[in-house]
Structure 1
Amino acid sequence: MNILLVEDDPDDVELLLEALHDNNVEFRMESIKEGDKVLPYLELCKILPDIIILDLNLPKMHGREVLISLKTSRFSIIPVVILTTSSSRDDIDFCLKSGADKYISKPSTLDGFNRTVSMIAEIAAPQAERNLK
């Protein structure tokens, strides 16, 4: 599974990496810390990600703006999972209406991240299959 993680908190990056390893997920992950770097990164990608995991609270460009940019671009087919600390009904509704495939409030434990990884793998699987063909 090829993952693009858009996250500025190194602790959350580390927790996700640990959960991926703990769940024996075969993956390759690139991480971007600033929202305004996502589309330029994708434009230069030789292998597109199977899934984008997107935080909302990002420097340079808010995750909401990144989501809109992704879903109105040629990259709109890539599944996007919002993984953020916000549990605001406004954020959830906005993201799901804007094309996010799943909205997950960040878990605070490794167990929670393990469950999150399972959901992410399920969402990424169909795209990964298409990319292999």
Structure 2
Amino acid sequence: MNILLVEDDPDDVELLLEALHDNDVKFRIESIKEGDKVLPYLQLCKIFPDIIILDLNLPKMHGREVLISLKSSTFSHIPIVILTTSSSKEDKEFCLKSGADKFLSKPSTVEGFNQTVLAITQIANQHVEKNLSR
């Protein structure tokens, strides 16, 4: 699974990496810390991600803006999971209406991260299977 992680907190990056390893997920990950770097990265990459994991509170460009930019671009087919500290109903509704495939609040336990990884892998696998059947 090819993952693009858009996250500025190194601790959250590390927790997600540990959860992916602990759940025996085979993955390749690229990490971007600033929202304004996402589209330029995708325009230059040779292997597109199977899934984008996007935080909302990012420097230079808020995650909401990144989501809208992605969903109105040629990359709109890539599934996006919002993984954020926000538990705001307004944020969740906005993101889902704007095209996010899933909205998850960042977990605070190992079990919570395991559930997060399960949700991410299910969405990414559905995307991969859909592309293989084309």
Secondary structure of 1:41's counterpart equals helix
Unpaired segments ≥5 residues, structure 1: none
Deviations 1:74-109 (A, max 9, x none): 000000000000011110000000000000000011
Q: Check whether the contact 1:79–1:123 (CA below 8 A) recurs between aligned residues.
A: yes
**What's 1:46 paired with?**
46
Could you say if the C-alpha distance between residues 88 and 42 of structure 1 is closer, same or farther in structure 2, counting changes exceeding 3 Å?
A: same
Distance in 2 (alpha carbons) for counterparts of 1:101 and 1:54: 11
Q: Check whether the contact 1:50–1:78 (CA below 8 A) recurs between aligned residues.
A: yes
Aligned AA (2:31): S
Unpaired segments ≥5 residues, structure 2: none
Distance in 1 (alpha carbons) for counterparts of 2:82 and 2:16: 13
- Tell me the matched-pair count: 133
Distance in 1 (alpha carbons) for counterparts of 2:69 and 2:86: 20
**What's 1:89 paired with?**
89
**What's 1:19 paired with?**
19
**What's 1:7 paired with?**
7
Q: Check whether the contact 1:50–1:131 (CA below 8 A) recurs between aligned residues.
A: no
Distance in 1 (alpha carbons) for counterparts of 2:132 and 2:76: 14
Instruction: Report whether the alignment pairs 1:115 with 2:115.
Output: yes
For normalisation by structure 1, the TM-score amounts to 0.97
Distance in 2 (alpha carbons) for counterparts of 1:132 and 1:29: 24
Secondary structure of 2:81's counterpart equals strand
**What's 1:62 paired with?**
62
**What's 1:126 paired with?**
126
Secondary structure of 2:29's counterpart equals strand
Distance in 2 (alpha carbons) for counterparts of 1:101 and 1:39: 18
Give the RMSD, CA atoms, in angstroms: 1.2
